[in-house]
Structure 1
Amino acid sequence: MSLLFEQLLNGLTIGVVYVLIAAGLSVIFGVMDVINFSHGELFALGAYFAISLAAPFGGPGFWLALVVAPLLVGIIGAAIERFTIRPLYGRNPLYQILLTFGLVLVIADIIVLLWGRQQQQFSGPPSLAGSIQIFGFSYSLYNLFIITFGLALAGAIWYGLNNTRVGLVIRAGAQDREMVQNLGIEIDRYYTLVFGVGSAIAAAGGVVLGGYQSVSPAMGHSVIIPAFVIVVLGGLGSFRGAVAGGLLVGVIQTLTRSYVPLLEGLVVFLLMIAVLLVKPSGLFGDPEWQEAGGEHTTLSTGSGGILSKSQRLRVGATVVGALLVIPLGTNVLYSPYIVSITSDILIWALFALSLDLVLGYAGLVSLGHAMFYGLGAYTTMLTMIHLTPSVLVALVLAIIVAAIIAWVVGYLSIRVSGIYFAMITLAFAQVFYNLVYKFEWTGSSQGLYGATPMYGIAGIGVAVGDLSLSAGPISISSAEVFYYLLVVIAVCSFLLVRRIMVAPFGSVLKSIRESQKRSRFVGYNVTAHKRNAFVLSGGLAGLAGGLYAISNGFVSPDVLHWLRSGELVVMAVLGGIGTLYGPMLGAGVFIFFEDLLSTYIEQWRMVLGTIFILFVIYIPRGIVSIGPYLRDRGIIDITEQKFERSEIDDD
């Protein structure tokens, strides 16, 4: 019993840290309707500021850090709201998710730039270094301080929101922003204050956790997903729910780690899925201060740009032609690495195409799309190791398995929409991500390798690494043969999806994206169409994952990580969703600049994240809309040209 009591206290210690993270996250959403993916990085930033403040001053440095670090992060949070998030008010809230993911890339690289990649640690104050006797056993005094401090801070925030004039204005603005503005109150300043205070609370959590365990650049990534679990369990925007959910998740995680390690990393996500399916508003219901709204504005989709339909067809044919001749210049104009990087681009382009089916046409933001990519990769590798080395069989099975799982996940998930759909797909992806660590047959954390892929079937064929072709002076290596296979698959997949999208099915998806209520009113089965699109999307993502496994000869749990889903969304929005070719273009630009920038600077994600943020704010329709953007601002003059646009601009 004493051991159980000690584990409960340990759970409360971690739970209180979660409360400090989730409380700020929940208040920001409850008041501003903003899901802040960069909240974990602000938490990490608080811990790193504490390292810089605590070290020079010794013991008293901790108390200085506990005051100054949250203030500094609060100022940074206020600046983030003022200059990046405020321009997005009035748009679909999912754009704020996309922008804050860009902030994740920027802040994470800034932390590495300033403090390095190595784990660091600072000591708590000497006055809290001892232990105290509780019910006959010793327990850390610092842990008790974390519990007391966290709960006191949460109580102070709750009191401020409910019993002060500032809190009154904030609650009123959450319920009716326009009414508060009509009263002469500059509500935008209060929104900046809320975001700053929410960031400061997270930073305070980073400071107290930094005195409890080591600090690393990955700590922001590791806490943000549990934080989302907490706010979903308690209710998005519910402060009480964030407190109760944080304590609950901390205790559950600690107890499962100690007594049921097989379920560690799984149970909280399964609980999150169950809550979203049964009661999407969470255990404590809707935000205390926010009225439920109607349908949000739709995501901005790309267009045909400044080119006519025939011109786009010619450009497309030129791109395909260029892809076909790239291997011919190997060892003459450039190294074989160009073929390798272009192969990666083709795989990611196919992956981005799969996401555009649900993001650009059905308006569903899937933050767990790496799940299908990873399923395809693992299915392919397991098939080639244990069943048959046939590439054809492995890829077909990858598509089938990913499509089946997509049907199951879609059947369960599509009953919720908007942010709730994004959260439940994220939860499903995290379940699969954690599962691959649990079993030896998936390679655990080491991954899978050792397959010998073969072109052929039933044992008749040739190994992928042995097939090379030559005709006179032209010689094509095995890697280039596989490259041509990628080109054929990518082009055929694009043409197939394009044909589906110009069919009535695609038109229905567009109408659903614009307004589900109207589509349902005119007689369309909205749920069935969205689920079918999700299944098709999952199958294509599985195909991309299978090609990745064959190309690399290795697959690890990283292919299922939520950051891959985030990067995929970045690629899609960067290129231009709702166009099919736009996300494929975005994938090419992202991978190209990643490779180019990583050659010269270590913080390449910071550069790409900054570019993405600028696109979300100023050019939300993506690269494909740069031409119209410049034309509308008089930068380029094309008034003499006439354009023809199809109803669905996906040519």
Structure 2
Amino acid sequence: MTFVADLTEQLINGVTLGMVYVLLAAGLSIIFGVMDVINFSHGELFALGAYFALSISGALGVGVGFWTALVVAPLLVGIVGVAIERFTIRPLYGRNPLYHILLTFGLVLIINDLIKLVWGTQQRNLGVPGYLSQPVGVAGIQVSLYNYFMIVFAGALALGIYLFLERTKYGMIVRAGSQDRQMVRNVGIDIDKYYTLVFGLGAALAAVGGIVLGGYQSISTGMGNSVIIPAFIIVVLGGLGSFRGAVFGGLLVGIIRTITRTYGGTEFGEVAGITLSLPDLEGLTIFLLMIAVLLVKPQGLFGNPEFQDEGGEEGDLLTGADGGVFTDSVRMKLGAAAVGLLAIAPFAILLTGNDYYIILLNRVLIMAIFALSLDIVMGYTGLVPLGHTMFYGVGAYVAALVMIHYTSSFIIALFGAIVICALIAWIVGSLSIRVSGVYFAMITLAFAELFYNAVFKFQFTGGSDGLLGWDTFFGIAGIGAELNGINLLIAGFEITPNIVFYYTALILAVASLLFARRFMNAPFGSVLQSISEAEERAEFIGYDVTKYKRRAFVISGGMAGMAGGLLAVKPSTFIISPDQTLAWIHSGEVIVMTLLGGMGTLFGPMIGAGVFIGAEDILSSYTEQWRLVIGTIFVLFVLFVPRGLVSIPSLLVQRRQSAESDSPSVGFDESEVNTHD
């Protein structure tokens, strides 16, 4: 096959994949443009469509079953989407749009575990009619008829949806509601019902994409996770809320991914002794493109999206610091008591003869520092970084590389992790802080994915196998001992490497909290909170908003790097891998911890980390679907306890006061009750 024919075939494959992305991104873009909802569960709805089709096709047979599934499965997923909007998304209207990201991340955990529960974890194949699988040869190009079917079918469906939204009364109302929803309500139209249908339509489009891709490749429980990041790239490139942008971005990303996968690293010959080759940039190109677009033109290549909400119904991020019932002195005493209990916990655990819970507590302390680092930017500046795990992962890699190639001293390894991550945070922060809101969330996600994919490209990082084989020296300059070699007997208690690490991590966690508390109570912290509450006002009175945000981002990145470095130092850690540290799902998990505990409090996210990991450990011992339970709890917290666990005492006090005020008084008139209330 000639190069031209081969390139043409790959372009057809790229367009085929791109049309799947068009269906996925079109629904995602419509939902955001009309409803201001960044739907992270969109990928799981994509996978759900494929699994519904699998069941329908299996029951009816490949021939009739495939065509039936192509109609019925999207309707079923559309109904699921309607239920999601009605019972989870709708109560959040009027809140900050970033709560939709948090809520839909919880839905990711729920839907993914439900899929595993119903269909299992085995990779499956969705059969397509035999005549669609036949190869078609044109001018020496051999491509399956199914490729052409996917292109034509997806293209016709996308065009139909576009015309439906542009040329019908329904579309006119939706577009009017996206421009000014209150005006539409004022003329007597229940716009919320239209929003519900829009969400259902977007979910159905994702399901169609999942079905056609399922017939092209295989179906797995991770397929939703694998497409959601490219989908976000597409809507950012084309423009959040732009249907035309989704079509253009989907085709562009599909072609770029196919070409870089096929020709990356290919050598084309030599010229004057220089080998000409195409760089192996698979997995990197689209993220670099996304970052460039966000920096140069955040509104996307098309700009001026067809759907753009200007209603202004946007609230603030709710912090757990508001409405507390305990005084500062009481909080200090409770904190001291908690630290005291943690200090004696290992000895109580040793009495049981099982040190597993010491290992678990080590993980809790590491994640507590990680969650604390996130709270500095999310709870105090109102920025939600969806790529915060980049600092955690880089910190782990830096510490491991230092101990492998330079010195095994854990002090130098941790110091290196903090410095490198702070430097990266300064660079990333300087670029990312130029945008705000969902655009900031997207650009940090792009940087994190860039690091994640870059790790696979370098030999010194171990690629997909990760790093392993280092020793940790507990000391510096030859003064100390090998951490794994420490084994002491003190007062009948055996002091193991895990216990030594535990107290080291505990000291660093407490020191990190005190350090963060110190500068948050200083004028620096007051300025950050002012920026979070009213950025324009803070800038008007003379504060360099960008500088303060960048400083907070650097501190946060360095602290997250220290948490990652501790992961590498931990005695029970034998390998540092990309999926273990840099996968985007870890950014979501630490956001869950922060919101669960109560952001904007510093100590709340640390409590949230303990609760999350403790719940994971307990639930995983009883069921494989522990993420389903955690996700459900998280969704309930986003809906009903958005200020986190630390706000529960104040909620209980408010409820008691409300009950007392509503109950009839005996022997007192109303004025007496009000006087003594």
> Same fold judged by TM-score > 0.5?
yes
State the Cα distance separating 1:321 from its structure 2 match.
Answer: 0.5
Give the aligned partner of residue 42 of structure 1: 45
Superposed, 1:506-585 pairs within 5 Å as 506-551=525-570, 552-558=573-579, 559-585=581-607
What displacement does 1:129 show? 2.1
For 1:186, give the aligned amino acid. Answer: D
Cα distance in 1, alignment partners of residues 15 and 214 from structure 2: 16
1:47 alignment partner AA: A
1:565-612 CA distances to partner (integer Å, 9 max, x unpaired)?
000001000110000001111110000000000000110000000000
Residues in 2 aligned to 1:169 and 1:226: alpha-carbon distance in whole angstroms: 30
Structure-1 residue corresponding to 2:230: 226
Contact 1:448/1:554 (<8 A) preserved = yes
Q: CA deviation at 1:291?
A: 4.8
The residue that corresponds to 1:348 in the other structure is 367
Rounded Cα–Cα distance in structure 2 between residues aligned with 1:288 and 1:78: 23
State which of 380, 398, 413 in structure 2 corresponds to 1:394: 413
Tell me, in whole angstroms, the C-alpha distance in 1 between the residues paired with 2:328 and 2:606: 18
| 8 Å Cα contact 2:181-2:311 kept in structure 1 | no
Distance change (3 Å), C-alpha of 1:508 and 1:294: farther
**1:279 paired residue number:** 297
CA deviation after TM superposition for structure 1 residue 531, in Å: 0.3
AA aligned to 1:524 is: Y
Match of 2:9 among 1, 6, 18: 6
Deviations 1:409-465 (A, max 9, x none): 001110000000000000000000001111111011111111100012233321011
The AA in structure 1 aligned to 2:27 is G
1:614 aligns with 2:636: yes
Matched, 1:461 2:480: yes
Output the amino acid matched with 2:125: Q
1:267-302 C-alpha deviation (Å, 9 max, x unpaired):
000000000000000001032132556694220001
- Residue aligned with 2:494, SS: strand
Structure 1 position 375 matched with structure 2 position 394: yes
How far apart are 1:498 and its partner, in Å?
A: 0.3
Aligned residue among 98, 103, 117 for 1:99 = 103
> Residue type matched to 1:557 in 2?
P
Cα deviation code 1:472-506 (max 9, x no counterpart): 33332221011000110000110011001000000
Cα distance between partner residues in 1 of 2:49 and 2:160: 20
CA distance, structure 2, for counterparts of residue 306 and residue 433 of structure 1: 42
Q: Does 1:194 align with 2:216?
A: no
The match for 2:669 is none
Alignment check: 8 A CA contact 1:631 1:638 kept: no
Kindly indicate whether the alpha-carbon contact (under 8 Å) linking 2:182 and 2:311 is maintained by their aligned counterparts in 1: no
SS in 2 for 1:347: helix
Structure 1: runs of 5 or more not aligned? 640-651
Tell me, in whole angstroms, the C-alpha distance in 2 between the residues paired with 1:91 and 1:311: 31
* Alignment check: 8 A CA contact 2:235 2:249 kept: yes
Match of 1:648 in 2: none
In structure 2, the partner of 1:301 is 319
Q: Which residue of 2 aligns with 1:184?
A: 188
- The answer to whether the 8 A contact 1:11-1:252 is kept is yes
* CA distance, structure 2, for counterparts of residue 607 and residue 137 of structure 1: 50
- What CA distance in whole angstroms lies between the structure 1 residues aligned with 2:58 and 2:376? 51
Q: What TM-score does the superposition give when structure 1 sets the normalisation length?
A: 0.96
Residues of 1 paired with 2:249 and 2:491: CA distance?
Answer: 69
TM-aligned CA distance change 1:103 to 1:635, over 3 Å: farther
1:228 counterpart letter in structure 2: F
Q: CA deviation at 1:333?
A: 3.4
Q: Which runs of 5+ in 2 are unaligned?
A: 266-279, 662-677
CA distance in 2, matches of 1:232, 1:20: 15
Contact 1:24 1:202 in 2 (8 A): yes
- SS at structure 1 position matched to 2:142: strand
- 2:330 is matched by which residue type in structure 1? Q
Q: Which residue of 1 aligns with 2:514?
A: 495
2:595 maps to a residue whose letter is: V
For 2:171, which of 164, 167, 173 is the aligned residue?
Answer: 167
Distance (Å, rounded) in 1 between the aligned partners of 2:460 and 2:21? 33
Which residue does 2:256 correspond to in 1? Answer: 252
Distance 1:165 1:497 in 2: 54
1:312-363 deviations in Å (ceiling 9; x for gaps):
1111111100110011123423620111111100000000000000000011
Contact 1:630/1:636 (<8 A) preserved: no
- Note the alpha carbon deviations across 1:238-265, whole angstroms, 9 max, x for none: 0000000000000000001111252000
How many residue pairs get aligned? The number is: 639
1:354-365 → structure 2 map (5 Å cutoff) = 354-365=373-384
Distance, in Å, in 1 between the alignment partners of 2:506 and 2:660 is 34
8 Å Cα contact 2:350-2:493 kept in structure 1: no
Contact 1:298–1:514 under 8 Å retained in 2:
yes
Counterpart residue identity of residue 588, structure 1 = G
Matches within 5 A, 1:428-467: 428-467=447-486
Name the structure 1 match of 2:287.
Answer: 269
> Matched residue of 2:73: which SS?
helix
Partner of 1:241: 245
Aligned equivalents of 1:210 and 1:471: distance in 2? Answer: 60
What's the secondary structure of 1:211's corresponding residue? helix
Taking every aligned residue pair, what percent have the same amino acid on both sides? 61
Partner of 1:19: 22
Q: Give, in whole Å, the separation in 2 of the partners of 1:286 and 1:423.
A: 19
Amino acid at match of 2:639: I
* Match among 117, 122, 129 for residue 121 of structure 2: 117
Contact 1:631–1:637 (8 Å) recurs in 2: no
* Cα deviation, residue 636, structure 1: 9.0
Distance, in Å, in 2 between the alignment partners of 1:635 and 1:612 is 27
Secondary structure in 1 aligned to 2:216?
Answer: coil
Q: Matches of 1:67 and 1:291 in 2, distance apart? A: 31
- 5 Å-filtered alignment, 1:465-476, equals 465-476=484-495
Shift of 1:131: 2.2
C-alpha contact 1:305 1:626 (8 A) present in aligned 2: no
Q: Aligned equivalents of 1:638 and 1:476: distance in 2?
A: 53
Secondary structure of 2:656's counterpart equals coil
Report the RMSD for the aligned CA atoms in angstroms. Answer: 1.4
Equivalent pair of 2:233/2:290 in contact (CA under 8 Å): yes
CA deviation after TM superposition for structure 1 residue 467, in Å: 2.0
